[in-house]
Amino acid sequence: MHRGRIDIVVAAPVGFAAAVASARNELAVGQRLLPATPGPMRKWRRSHRFRSAMSTHPCLRCGACCAHFRVAFHWSETDAHPDGLTPTAATEPLDPHRVVMRGTHAGRIHCQSLRGAVGVDAQCGIYPLRPSPCRDLHPAWEDGRPSPQCDRARAAYGLQPLSPQHWSASARSNATD
* 76-88 residue pLDDT tens: 999 999 999 999 9
DSSP letter assigned to residue 14: T
Strands 72-74 and 6-7: unpaired
The rounded distance, in Å, linking the Cα atoms of 19 and 35 is 25
The rounded distance, in Å, linking the Cα atoms of 120 and 36 is 31
The rounded distance, in Å, linking the Cα atoms of 47 and 66 is 23
Q: Give residue 8's pLDDT band: very low, low, confident or very high (50, 70, 90).
A: very low
Flag whether pLDDT at 5 surpasses 50: no
DSSP H/E element including 74: strand 72-74
Q: Where are the domains of the chain?
A: 6-176
- Residues 130-149, mean pLDDT to the nearest whole number: 94
Residue type (1 letter), 81? H
Total-model pTM: 0.66
The rounded distance, in Å, linking the Cα atoms of 149 and 133 is 12
Flag whether pLDDT at 29 surpasses 90: no
Higher pLDDT, 70 or 171: 70
pLDDT tens per residue across span 87-134: 999 999 999 999 999 999 988 899 999 999 999 999 999 999 999 999
CA atoms in the 13 A half-sphere facing the CB of 73: 22
pLDDT of residue 13: 39
- Residues 53-57, mean pLDDT to the nearest whole number: 58
Flag whether pLDDT at 146 surpasses 80: yes
Flag whether pLDDT at 74 surpasses 90: yes
End-to-end Cα spacing for the chain: 27
DSSP string, 21-62: HHHHHHSPTT---S-SSSSPPPPEE--HHHHHHHHT-GGGG-
Question: What three-state secondary structure class fits 137?
Answer: coil
